[in-house]
Amino acid sequence: MKLSISLGTIFLLISSSGAQNYQSYQDYADDYSSQDNLYANYAAKKQTGVAKSGGGGGGFLKSVIVGGVGWFLGSKIHVARTMRKMKTKHMKDQKNLYSQYYNDVYKLQQQNAELTYVIEQYQEAIQNVQSDMENDKLQRDYEEFKQPDIDGDDRISRAEFNMYVKNYLSNYPGMSEKDYPKFEDFDHDGDGQISFQEYAQQMALTLQQAQKN
C-alpha cells in the first residue's frame, strides 16, 4: 500500500511537473507567437508608410526622374504635333498659292488671247479701210483716166491727151498753160500710148511733188 501510494504520488508529481512544463512551454510559445505578430504588424505598417511616402528619398528621386522623362516625351510629342500642323498648313497655303497662280496665269492668257483677237480685228478693219480707200482712189483715178479715152480702148493716145488738156484743163480755174501736164510725163515706156498703170503712177508722183512744194 505504501508502495502504491508512493508510485501514485510519484506519478502525480510527474504528471503535475509535466503539466507545468507544458504550460510553461505553451506560455512561451504564445509569447513568441505574440512577438511574431507584433513584428509582422510593425513590418506591415512600415511597408505601408514607405509606400505612402513614395519610398523615402529614393522614391522622390524616382518620381523626379519619371516626371522629367514624361515632360520630355510630352514636349517631343507636342513639338511633333505642332510641326505636323504647321507642315499641313504650309502645304495647304502653298497649294492655294499655286492654284491662285495658275488661275491668274490662265486669266492673263485668256485676256492676252482676247486682246490679240481684238488687235487683229482692228488691224483687219484698218486694212479693209485702207483697201477701200485705195479702191476708191483707184476707182476715181480710173474714171479720170477714162475721160480722155475717147475710143474706149483703155489707152490714151497723144491726140486724145492733147484734146483733153485743151477742152477740160484749160477751163480749170487757177491753171495756166505752164501748169498743164505733158504727154511725155505719163508715157513712161515711150510707146506713144498711156496705160492706166502709167497714168496712176504719174498721178501719185504729181501728188507727192505737190505735197513737198
In order along its 213 residues, the chain shows pLDDT tens digits of: 444 444 444 444 444 444 444 444 445 445 544 544 544 554 455 555 544 444 445 566 776 776 766 676 777 777 778 888 888 888 888 888 888 888 899 999 999 999 999 999 989 998 888 888 888 888 888 998 999 999 989 999 999 999 988 888 777 777 777 778 889 999 999 999 999 999 989 988 888 887 786
Give domain limits for the chain.
68-136, 147-212
Q: Find residue 193's DSSP bridge partners.
A: 157
Kindly report the CA angle at 182 between 177 and 186, in degrees rounded to 5? Answer: 150
CB atoms within 10 A of CB 188: 14
- The highest-level CATH class for domain 147-212 is mainly alpha
Tell me, what's the pLDDT at 47? 52
Q: Is the pTM of this model over 0.85?
A: no
CA distances 60 to 69, 72, 77, 194, Å, are 14, 18, 25, 126
Tell me, what's the pLDDT at 181? 85
